[in-house]
Structure 1
Amino acid sequence: MSVDIDTVKRVARLSRIAVDEADAERMTGELNAILGFVEQLNEVNVEGVEPMTSVIPMAMKKRQDGVTDGSKADDIVANAPASEDNFFVVPKVVE
């Protein structure tokens, strides 16, 4: 895949970046070099390679996943003009 000047100008317009003709020429070469590198990466055989979180082996820290109410209901409704059973009380708007 290669990028031409029209594609660079279109991407610049979509990104709301002002690009003049000289910059568009330079960016065309730079983007084609980046895409060439990505194509090289696609050729690498990664069959059987485990995903890594770091360059050194480490265990991920995990926490117990549990559902709680946050123990903050009283703090949340503390400044409400009216509350009942930790819910905000508001005037009825639907008849």
Structure 2
Amino acid sequence: MKISRSEVEKTARLARLDLNEAEMERMTAQLDTILSYAAKLDELNTDGVAAICSQAAANAFREDEVRPSLPRELALANGPQHNEESFVVPKIIG
């Protein structure tokens, strides 16, 4: 077994998952299957296999150009409350 029930319980607690007994058993079995498969992949001989990467050969980004943006009045019109410069939000920290 690649993963213990206590490790699944700890992971569920960290993820804030409230799993019942049946879900805990199913999750332990499923994670064990996944980790066993990953361990099986480690057994493969990859000597001489070139690494695959997704790096572009050249910079694919466009050049920066100045373009007109949304006027402030129109942007502020989307909020429920605003002053002349920014949105007004309720204070949440004392």
TM-score category of the 2 structures, normalised to the smaller one: 0.5 to 0.7
**1:5-84 to 2 correspondences below 5 Å:** 5-52=5-52, 68-72=63-67, 75-76=68-69, 79=71
Structure 2 stretches lacking a partner, 5+ long: 74-94
Q: Give the CA RMSD over aligned residues.
A: 3.3
The one-letter amino acid of 1:79's match is P
Return the TM-score normalized by structure 1. 0.55
Q: Which has the higher contact order (CA 8 A, sep 6+)?
A: 2
> Which stretches of structure 1, 4 residues or longer, exceed 2 Å deviation after superposition?
50-53, 60-69, 78-81
Which of 1 and 2 has greater Rg? 1
Number of paired residues? 73
Distance 1:71 1:38, change over 3 A: same
Distance 1:24 1:64, change over 3 A: closer
Distance 1:63 1:11, change over 3 A: same
% of aligned pairs identical?
Answer: 29
Return the TM-score normalized by structure 2. 0.55
Bigger share in strand: 1
Distance 1:32 1:65, change over 3 A: closer
